[in-house]
Amino acid sequence: MTAIPQERRLVTAVPGPKSQELQARRTAAVAGGVGSVLPVFAARADGGILEDVDGNRLIDFGSGIAVTSVGASAEAVVRRASAQLADFTHTCFMVTPYEGYVEVCERLAEVTPGDHAKKSALFNSGAEAVENAVKIARSYTKRQAVVVFDHGYHGRTNLTMALTAKNMPYKNGFGPFAPEVYRVPVAYGYRWPTGPENCGPEASAQAIDQISKQIGADNVAAIIIEPVLGEGGFIEPAKGFLPALAKFAKDNGIVFVADEIQSGFCRTGQWFACEDEGVVPDLITTAKGIAGGLPLAAVTGRAEIMDAAHSGGLGGTYGGNPVACAAALGAIETMRELDLAAKARRIETVMKGRLAALREKYDLIGDVRGRGAMIAIELVKNRETKEPAPEATAALAKACHAAGLLVLTCGTYGNVLRFLPPLVIGEDLLNEGLDIIEQALATV
């Protein structure tokens, strides 16, 4: 563990000279299609601080995209992963298994919603987990169609590109995409034509009508939804939407899949975001926050569904790597010991209180939303028309970066500033980050 002083410190411009030097090497050696939010090269990170190679300490409101919820060098993660590294790095679970993999699956059965018999399979990335959820659902139902939603994001592999809504940057020029994928409306309260109060029932009726009339419920293997949509703009589907779709799936023999890759593992103030409305998914995909920064992903769900695929049909050389499993056990232990779900709820209280006050002051902020430590502001040019303000969003992010606060943007219209602090961030840093956002708002 690195024990970095938990204070913001700027000793050069951001990016500093060493980062700029590395950026030149990067430009020469790394493919242009791989982007970075901020050309600041990391040296160490933990708690709420990311220290760069020039010695600047940035406040981290990104967590490497909702990954380092327990911190980027959490004690239990480093201890367990280091011990595992010294014992063995790999055997391939499909060749000779090891206990860590089994133990992670046992923990997943405990922390995911529902008290039915559950099983899991482990993979390397979120996209791989989603792909495997589709394989499992198709095996189980003997059907092919997959239903996804407007503004949804599920990854960058061929099938998950097809599942993802937004063209640029995720899909443009990368087709043809996988067939039998159908997109239906989602309950985006802020932009629902008849208002947020009507959104849940109207959007679910529309989605169900489209599925029934255009695809046919009997052809649908899976409905896949993020219980809080991440890349699409931190959209919480309006109340009633998720339960209505889960019920429709149940009534029609469709596997209901919650993609909790971004929203899971205490991020929204509960172990999983679907718990908010008591929805128990048939399958749940997880990754990001699961292993304190090491690459690991999982599909967890009803034992009879998980067992539908034939032996050898699921897996991968590295899936459930022993070091990543050890890290996951450390991360889950940390979440339990520090009650990080409660920490996330506290972060929501602090953030939403201050952001709501800023919304009163600045017309640019059209909406403040999200749950736990998954909070966002949606920026608009005009509160009546809700015309998106992507330029102001980019300028705001840039001003925050220059002041030493790492923030990310998202949203189909590129007009959402999102905040994903590590759940272990100190409240002083949290407030200092909000001060920076306030100052940045005054300048754009």
Ligand X SMILES: *Cc1c(COP(=O)(O)O)cnc(C)c1O
Q: Is 433 in the site for ligand X (CB under 6 A)?
A: no
Q: What is the dihedral of CA 320, 161, 264, 354, to 10 degrees?
A: 140
The stretch near ligand X (CB under 6 A) out of 147-155, 328-336, 342-350, 371-379 is 147-155
The stretch near ligand X (CB under 6 A) out of 115-123, 204-212, 259-267, 357-365 is 259-267
Min dist CB 130 to ligand X, Å, is 6
Nearer to ligand X, 290 or 429 (CB): 290
Kindly state the DSSP code that residue 177 receives in the 8-state scheme. P
- With tokens 């991360």, the residue in question is 331
Q: Which of 239, 349, 297, 293 is nearest to 65 (CA)?
A: 293
How many whole angstroms separate alpha carbon 420 and alpha carbon 435?
Answer: 16
47: phi > 0 → left, psi -120 to 50 → alpha, else beta; which?
A: left
Q: Is 259 in the site for ligand X (CB under 6 A)?
A: yes
Nearer to ligand X, 154 or 401 (CB): 154
According to CB under 6 A, which one of 155, 189, 404, 411 is a site residue for ligand X? 155
How many whole angstroms separate alpha carbon 62 and alpha carbon 427?
Answer: 16
According to CB under 6 A, which one of 15, 100, 230, 319 is a site residue for ligand X? 230
The stretch near ligand X (CB under 6 A) out of 2-10, 18-26, 185-193, 255-263 is 255-263
Reduced to 3 states (helix: H, G, I; strand: E, B; else coil), residue 290 is helix
Closest residue to ligand X, judged by C-beta, is: 126
According to CB under 6 A, which one of 226, 236, 275, 276 is a site residue for ligand X? 226
Would you call 108 exposed, middle or buried from its count of C-beta atoms within 10 A (0-12, 13-18, 19+)? Answer: buried
| Token output for 46 | 């933990």
How many whole angstroms separate alpha carbon 45 and alpha carbon 50?
Answer: 4
- How many residues make contact with ligand X (CB under 6 A)? 14
Min dist CB 408 to ligand X, Å, is 12
Q: Is 261 in the site for ligand X (CB under 6 A)?
A: yes
The stretch near ligand X (CB under 6 A) out of 115-123, 134-142, 256-264, 319-327 is 256-264
Nearer to ligand X, 60 or 259 (CB): 259
How many whole angstroms separate alpha carbon 236 and alpha carbon 226?
Answer: 9
Nearer to ligand X, 154 or 302 (CB): 154
The stretch near ligand X (CB under 6 A) out of 4-12, 110-118, 254-262, 408-416 is 254-262
Nearer to ligand X, 4 or 127 (CB): 127
Min dist CB 368 to ligand X, Å, is 21
Helix, strand, coil percent values for the chain (each to nearest 5): 40, 20, 40
Nearer to ligand X, 138 or 418 (CB): 418
By CB under 6 A, the residues from 93 to 132 that bind ligand X are 125-127, 130
Binding track over 297-336 against ligand X, x by CB under 6 A: ----------------------------------------
How many whole angstroms separate alpha carbon 371 and alpha carbon 352?
Answer: 9
Nearer to ligand X, 67 or 389 (CB): 67
* H or E element at residue 245: helix 241-251
How many whole angstroms separate alpha carbon 131 and alpha carbon 411?
Answer: 23
How many whole angstroms separate alpha carbon 351 and alpha carbon 78?
Answer: 30
Q: Which of 288, 297, 239, 244 is nearest to 264 (CA)?
A: 288
How many whole angstroms separate alpha carbon 257 and alpha carbon 322?
Answer: 26
According to CB under 6 A, which one of 153, 190, 256, 419 is a site residue for ligand X? 153
Binding residues for ligand X, per CB under 6 A?
Answer: 125-127, 130, 153-155, 226, 230, 259, 261-262, 287-288
